[in-house]
Structure 1
Amino acid sequence: MVGAISRPVRIAAWIFVLATGLFLLAPLVVVIGVSVSESQFISFPPDGLSLRWYKEVLSSDSYLGAAWISFRVALLVTLTSTLCGGAAAIAINRRVLPGSGALATFFLSPLVLPTIIYAIGMLMLWSAIFGPVTIVTIWIGHTVITIPYVVRTTLAVLSESDPFLEEAAQTMGAGRVQRLWLVVVPQCLPGLAAGAFFAFNISFDEAVVSLFLRKPGLTTLPVQIYGQLEFSPDPSVAAVSTIMIALTVGLILIIDRMLGVQRFASS
C-alpha cells in the first residue's frame, strides 16, 4: 500500500523522478536557448535573443532540400511500414500462418541488430545487386527498421481486443473483406496510429542508415545537421533541431485530437 511506504522513501522517489525529468529536459532547454542566440557560435546561456538563425534555416536551400527529402522518405516509410506491419500483426494475431510465434520474433529482429551493421550490410547488398543507391534504397532501409514498431504496437492492441466481435460480424453475414475493414481495422487503429507515429519520427530522425545509403544530392536532414556540426557549427543546427522538436510535439497534438493521448499511449 502507498500509505505503508515510509516518508524518506517517498522523498527519495520524488527526488529521483525530478532528477530524471531534469536530465531528460535539460538538453532540450539548451538546444532551444542556443537557437535564439545572437552569437555566431554555439554558446549557452544565449548572448541576447534573436530569430536570425530560424530565418537563415528557412531560407537555406541546403536545409530545405534536405528537409524535403527527409519528409518524402518519412511519408513513404510511414505508409509502407503501417501497411506491411499492420498486415503482419493481424496475420500473427490470428495465427493463420504456421510458426506465428517465430514470425513475431522475426519481425522484431531489426531491433536487435545494431543499426550501423545493418546499414553497412544494406549498402553492400544493394550495390552488389542493383548498383548505385537511390532514394528507394533509403526508403527500403528505413522501412525495415520501422516495421517492428508497427507490428509491436498493433499486436499489443489486438491482444486486448474482443475476438467475438469478428465472429458476430460473420454471423450477421459479413464477408472476409468486410470483417477485416469494418471490424479488425477499427480495432487496430490505436496501434496503427502509434506505429505510424514511431515510423515517421524514426525515419525522419534516422542518421546512420541515411549516412551510409546516401549519395551526392541525396542528403537527409539529420545527415545535413551532422555535416554542419562537423565542418562549420553554428546555432543554425540548434534552430533546425528545435523545429524538429516542434514537429514531434505537433504530431502528438494531432494524435491527441484524433485518438486521445491516453488511448494512444495504451497501445
Structure 2
Amino acid sequence: MVKAVPSWLRLASVVFVALTALILLAPLIVVVGVSVSESQFIAFPPNGLSLRWYQQVLSSNAYLGAAWISIQIAVMVTVLATVIGGAAAIAIHRRQLPFSDLLATVFLSPLVLPTIIYAIGMLMFWSAAFGPVSPITLALSHTVIALPYVVRTTLAVLAESNPYLEEAARTMGANRMQRLWFVVVPQCIPGLAAGAFFAFNISFDEAVLSLFLRGPTLTTLPVQIYGQLEFSPDPSVAAVSTIMIALTIVLIFVIDRMLGLTKFASA
C-alpha cells in the first residue's frame, strides 16, 4: 500500500516550484518594468509609467531596419531548417541511408559545438572562399545551429508514429512519393512545427553568429540591442526585449490554435 506523502515533503515541493518559477519569471518582470519607466536610465522599480520608449523604438529606423533583417533571416532559416531537418529525420528514422547513426550524430553535433568557435570558423571560411559576408551567409550559419532542433523533434514524433499506416497505404496501391506525402509527412507535422518554432526563435535571437558575421548594412536586432547597451544604454532596449517576448507568446498562441499545445509539447 502506498503511504501518504509527508506534509513537509509537499510543502518543500511547493516552495521549490514557487522559487523556480520566481527565478524564471523575475528577469522577464524586470525587463517589462524597465520598458515602461519614465526614467532616462535603466532602473527598477520604474519611476513612473510611460510608453515613450515603445514609441521611440517603433519610430527608430535603426531598430526597425535591424528587426526587418532579423525577420527575413529567421524566415529563411525556418524554411531551410524545416525542409532539410525534416527530410534528414525521415531518412534517419527509416534507416535507408548508409551510416544512419553517424548521420544522426552529425546533424545533432551543433548542439555541443561552442557557438563562438563555429562563428570564428564560419567567418574565416566564408571570407576565404566567397568574400564579404551577406544575409545568405547569416541564414546558412543560423540554419546549421537550428537543424538539430528540427531533426530531434521530428525524430521524436516519428518514434511514436504508427508504422502500419504506411504499410496500409502501400497495400492500397500508393507509390513511394504518395506514401511519403500523404502518410509520413502528416504524421511529422507536430515535430516539424515544433522544430520550425525553435528554428525561428534561435535565428531571431542569435547574437554571437550575428555579431561575427555582421556587415556595414547587415545588423540584426540582437546586435543592435548589444550595441545600444554598450554605448548608450537606456530603457529602449527593455522595450525591444519586451516586444520580442510578446512575439514569442504570439507564436505559441498561433501554434496552439493550429495544432494544440499538447501535440506541440509531445514533440
Class of the TM-score when normalised by the shorter of the 2 chains = over 0.9
1:127, 1:259 → 2: CA distance? 42
- The runs of 5 or more residues in structure 1 that have no matched partner are none
Give the structure 1 partner of residue 103 of structure 2.
Answer: 103
1:209, 1:15 → 2: CA distance? 39
Give the structure 2 partner of residue 81 of structure 1.
Answer: 81
Identity of aligned residues (%): 75
Give the structure 1 partner of residue 193 of structure 2.
Answer: 193
Give the root-mean-square deviation of aligned CA atoms.
Answer: 0.9
Give the structure 1 partner of residue 47 of structure 2.
Answer: 47
Give the structure 1 partner of residue 143 of structure 2.
Answer: 143
2:115, 2:82 → 1: CA distance? 21
Greater mean deviation of Cα atoms: 92-101 or 147-156 = 92-101
Give the structure 2 partner of residue 8 of structure 1.
Answer: 8
Greater mean deviation of Cα atoms: 70-79 or 171-180 = 171-180
CA offsets 1:135-193 (integer angstroms, 9 cap, x no match) = 11100100000000000000000000001100100100011111111000000000000
What SS does structure 1 have at the residue aligned with 2:41?
coil
1:11, 1:108 → 2: CA distance? 40
1:4 Cα deviation (Å)? 3.3
What SS does structure 2 have at the residue aligned with 1:218?
coil
Give the structure 2 partner of residue 115 of structure 1.
Answer: 115
1:3, 1:111 → 2: CA distance? 42
CA offsets 1:82-120 (integer angstroms, 9 cap, x no match) = 000000000000000111111111100000000000000
Greater mean deviation of Cα atoms: 147-156 or 169-178 = 169-178
1:183, 1:102 → 2: CA distance? 26
1:3 Cα deviation (Å)? 5.1
1:10 Cα deviation (Å)? 1.5
Give 1:247's aligned amino acid.
L
What SS does structure 2 have at the residue aligned with 1:4?
coil
1:177, 1:138 → 2: CA distance? 33
Structure 1's consecutive aligned runs of 4 or more residues displaced over 4 angstroms after TM superposition are none
Give 1:24's aligned amino acid.
L
1:1-267 equivalence runs, <5 A: 4-267=4-267
Give 1:195's aligned amino acid.
G
Give 2:199's aligned amino acid.
A
Aligned residues: 267
1:2 Cα deviation (Å)? 7.5
